Chains A and B, each alone.
Chain A
């Protein structure tokens, strides 16, 4: 048993690091440093830079643009990318609908949709949650009724992240109301330009507009946009939830933000050495570094487990979501407290030089408020604890 990187792994990490440092536009890096919203253009630009390198969808099958790297190398790649403040590619495309299509879709769907996901020609959003179907997603009510060679879709999706930019939405819809709820769900791909699709922005408590309601009123969807079999959609959704394990702990991103916290705390020690709460804040940073180190290793252990032929989905994987999200939130609290009273004054549009300027404090509250979502989304931490407990008690 050995936790050291091999020479090859170390060389690979350096290669990824050098690539990002050489090609990530500075303006995007600055935004990532202070957790500012990226524009659609920002993400398209970066995705195409990655695509040119052949790294936009490294975890995909090689025939559709993947690199063929083993899972551990995939994890190293993501870790370094996040540490270097590179934005993730649009996960709804690259980690959700893309894998669904290449696993369960037909050839026509693969040829039509996959290349356009890779270079972000098509911006995808996720139509899963509904006002009455959050944690209990299977109770969703959006219906799709077959009419000739079309489905007629009616309902409402909510918490649709970045839906305002979207060209397409992948939806879980109810196609059979007479069976157990999980057994009557289908996976449908819907063009956002279809008549009857309305996007309504929702402002979040950090002041941003990253989520939306999507209303579907008699939207006609060609039946060829059904993925896989009718009424098997829940299985595909479960596959998706299990599939995107790597990165959910956001270890690399948290390493970057904790490193930033440490730098700022050190700057504080120089500028305001007599500041009374500084010692306690630095102690919190140290403790989070410990927790993050432990989480990083847990992630590698989960990967190793899953790579084994008999490796299953044990309870350890839920640790990644619970602990990863709690560490993220703790880091945001740390930054909030480090900013002190200056957290109250939001960043003005004119403040641009985030590296050097004290204006980082103006982003601390926004990040703190926004990141309350990480313990809610992706399967709330309460649900994750249920999953862990259920598995522990079943064994």
Chain B
């Protein structure tokens, strides 16, 4: 067991911290949040320059070949800074699906574009009738002469409005809640039959509602070969939950630090409120919750790589449970200890709490995952597997892409 960051990871952390310090002071981030798109292409270019867009793609596909521990390091800083940019949507969700479900042509054509910042992706999975189950899909992919025709409606497509390519979970066969018969399909965001309505989620981030009406795709646009994409979807969801755990740690760390600073300086009744034991005990409890979540974020980075589906699912369920409980407690208490100003948009702590609330609701809440653990045969989270060494990532040798379909080209 080795719980220290290696040299490369330390460097990565420092460089992301420097980037975040430059990009995300409160006023600058506010300008982006209040801007038309809710994120900054210029900022994304800086992510790309730093190598973040190519963090986890293989070197052969233009990436750095890093893994979930490096993602964890990056996400903690992005959490702390309240970054609005499409790292999760494009790199983790979109890129992840291509890496786990795509065929060679798809990987070779699409991933270098993602790494180079030329292609923005979004994953369209959630539907109105669904809750936390990823296989609750009514959108259909009907076989046509050249491929498939998509019909249905998706909601909460993160960064879906500005994405160049959407990856759509649609049903080739079976009933709404069947685990089999689901496929993943690439389609341009502005393709015929695709209608997008952009909005902001409660934490001010861009998302879209997308309707597909006889939206045609070629047979080569289905990710991979089989119509059995659920395994890949769940794998990517697990990796994303691990990443969100790290983002949550960054949020909570910042909320705790802000709260400590506040109670040290806020004077009422002639003294700093930090002198009240009730406040001190609350800080201590917040710290405990944060550190428990941090531990599970480390655990998550390892267990999300477990090839054993059930063991991975149980491990990630445990992670999400801890993450949700810690986020709720730390967030609520941060607001409470700040008093009235915690309730306003003028102060960062309220924004952090909004994002904490949003993360709770993504990919299953505490009770959803508790039920998974409680009803499974072995209800305890698996032991951390000690042979998941962090990969050593190498700088990418950039590869010229083979001739790729024009419809897969980004606009960025």
A-side interface size class: 35 or more
- Which of A95-103, A228-236, A239-247, A365-373 has 4 or more CB atoms under 8 Å from chain B? A365-373
Say yes or no for A136: interface residue by CB 8 A criterion. yes
Q: Which residues of B contact A116 (CB under 8 A)?
A: none
A135 to B201, CA, bound (A): 33
User: How distant is the Cα of A159 from the Cα of B338 in the complex, in angstroms?
Assistant: 14
State how many angstroms separate the Cβ of B110 from the closest Cβ of chain A.
26
Distance A205 CA – B367 CA, assembled complex (angstroms)? 25
How many angstroms from the CA of A202 to the CA of B346 in the assembled complex?
A: 8
Q: Which of B199, B201, B343, B370 contacts A205 (CB 8 A)?
A: B343
Q: Is the CB of A372 within 8 A of B344?
A: no
A177 at the interface (CB under 8 A from B): no
Cβ < 8 Å to B, chain A residues 255-276: 271-272, 274-276
Residue on A nearest B372 in the bound complex, by CB:
A276
Q: Which residues of A contact B328 (CB under 8 A)?
A: 333
Contact yes or no, B336 A369, CB < 8 A:
no
Nearest CB of B to A330, in Å = 11
- Chain A residues near B372 (CB-CB < 8 A): 276
Distance between Cα atoms of A40 and B337 in the complex (Å): 32
Alpha-carbon distance A271/B361, docked complex (angstroms): 20
Q: Are B365 and A277 in contact (CB under 8 A)?
A: yes
CB contacts under 8 Å to A, within B328-362, are 328, 332, 335-336, 339-340, 342-346, 350-351, 353-354, 357-358, 361-362
Interface assignment of A175: CB less than 8 Å from any CB of chain B: no
Q: Closest residue to B353 on the A side, CB-wise? A: A205
Contact of A376 among B132, B278, B336, B375 (CB under 8 A): B336
User: Given A207, A345, A372, which contacts B199 in the complex, CB threshold below 8 Å?
Assistant: A345
Q: Is B155's CB under 8 angstroms from A369's CB?
A: no
Cross-chain contact A280 with B345 (CB below 8 angstroms): no
In whole angstroms, how far apart are the Cα atoms of A385 and B276 in the complex? 13
Does A316 make an interface contact (CB < 8 A)? no
Q: Do A344 and B202 have beta carbons less than 8 Å apart? A: yes
A203 on the interface (CB 8 Å rule)?
A: yes
Q: Which residues of B contact A343 (CB under 8 A)?
A: 202, 357, 361
Chain A residues within an 8 Å CB radius of B361: 336, 339-341, 343-344, 365
**B339→A135 contact, CB < 8 A:** yes
Contact A365 B367 (CB under 8 A): no
CB closest residue in chain B, given A372 = B335
Give the distance in Å from the alpha carbon of A38 to the alpha carbon of B26 in the complex.
31
Q: Shortest Cβ distance from A208 into chain B, in angstroms? A: 10
Chain B residues near A385 (CB-CB < 8 A): 278
A129 near B: Cβ within 8 Å?
Answer: yes
Between A275, A375, A381, A385, the greatest number of chain B beta carbons within 10 A of the residue's beta carbon is seen for A275
Q: Is B88 an interface residue (CB 8 A)?
A: no
A204: which B residues are within 8 A, CB to CB? 343-345, 350
B310 at the A interface (CB under 8 A)? no
Contact indicator B357/A158 (Cβ below 8 Å): no
- A144–B340 Cα distance when bound, in Å, is 25
Which residue of B has the minimal Cβ distance to A203? B345
Q: Within 8 Å CB of A298, what residues of B?
A: none
Give the residue name and chain of the A residue nearest to B269 (CB): A136
Query: Does B179 make an interface contact (CB < 8 A)?
Result: no
Complex Cα gap A236–B203 (Å): 41
- Tell which of B267, B269, B276, B367 touches A280, judged by Cβ atoms closer than 8 Å: B367
Q: Which of A272, A279, A376 contacts B131 (CB 8 A)?
A: A272
Q: How far is the CB of A214 from chain B (nearest CB, A)?
A: 14
> Which residues of A have CB within 8 Å of B131?
272, 275, 340-341
Interfacial chain A residues near B342, Cβ < 8 Å: 372, 376
A344-B207, A368-B357 given; A376·B268 CB < 8 A: no
Complexed CA–CA distance, A129 and B346 (Å): 17
Once A158-B340, A376-B343 are accepted as A-B contacts, the answer to whether A369 and B132 lie under 8 Å apart by CB is no
Query: Are A271 and B129 in contact, with the CB atoms below 8 A?
Result: yes
Looking at the complex, which one of B177, B201, B366 makes contact with A345 (CB distance below 8 Å)? Answer: B201
Is A382's beta carbon under 8 Å from chain B? yes
B202 touches A280 (CB 8 A): no
Return A90 CB to nearest CB of chain B, in Å: 20
Q: How far is the CA of A366 from the CA of B207 in the complex (A)?
A: 17
Expressed in whole angstroms, the Cα–Cα distance for A205 and B354 within the complex equals: 7
Residues of A within 8 A of B371 (CB): 276-277, 279-280
Which of A135, A139, A202, A369 makes the CB contact (< 8 A) with B354?
A369
Assembled-state Cα–Cα distance A275/B278 (Å): 39
B344 touches A340 (CB 8 A): no
Asked if A375 contacts B354 (CB within 8 A), the reply is no
- Asked whether any CB of chain B lies closer than 8 Å to the CB of A337, the reply is yes
In the bound complex, residues from chain A placing their C-beta under 8 Å from that of B363 are 341
Task: Judge if A394 is at the interface, Cβ distance under 8 Å.
Answer: no
Interface mask (A98-124 → B, CB under 8 Å = 1, otherwise 0): 000000000000000000000000000
Instruction: Kindly state whether residue B200 has any CB partner on chain A within 8 Å.
Output: yes
For the complex, give the distance between the alpha carbons of A346 and B204 in Å: 10
CB distance from A211 to the nearest CB of B (A): 8
Q: Are A344 and B132 interface neighbours, CB within 8 A? A: no
B126 within 8 A of A: yes
Task: Give the residues from 349 to 371 in chain A that come closer than 8 angstroms, CB to CB, to chain B.
Answer: 358, 365-366, 368-369
- Chain B residues with Cβ under 8 A from A365's Cβ? 202, 357-358, 361
Binary contact readout B45-73 vs A (1 if CB under 8 angstroms, 0 otherwise): 00000000000000000000000000000
How far does the alpha carbon of A367 sit from the alpha carbon of B193 in the complex, in Å? 36
Q: Which residues of B contact A339 (CB under 8 A)?
A: 361
**Residue ID in chain A nearest B345 by CB atoms:** A203
A339 to B339, CA, bound (A): 27
Specify which chain B residues have a CB less than 8 angstroms from the CB of A136 in the assembled complex. 268-270
Contact A341 B156 (CB under 8 A): yes
A337 vs B371: C-alpha distance when bound (angstroms): 14
Task: For residue B83, give the distance in angstroms from its CB to the closest CB of chain A.
Answer: 17
**With known contacts A274-B177, A277-B132, A369–B357 Cβ distance under 8 A:** yes
CB–CB B367/A281 < 8 A:
yes
Judged by a CB distance under 8 angstroms, whether B128 is at the interface is yes
Residues on the B chain within 8 Å of A73, using CB: none
Q: Which 6 residue pairs of A and B lie closest in terms of their CB atoms, listed nearest first?
A: A277-B367, A276-B371, A136-B268, A205-B350, A365-B202, A203-B345
The contact sample of 10 A-B pairs, CB cut-off 8 A, is A135-B269, A205-B350, A272-B131, A343-B202, A344-B362, A348-B199, A365-B357, A372-B343, A376-B340, A382-B278
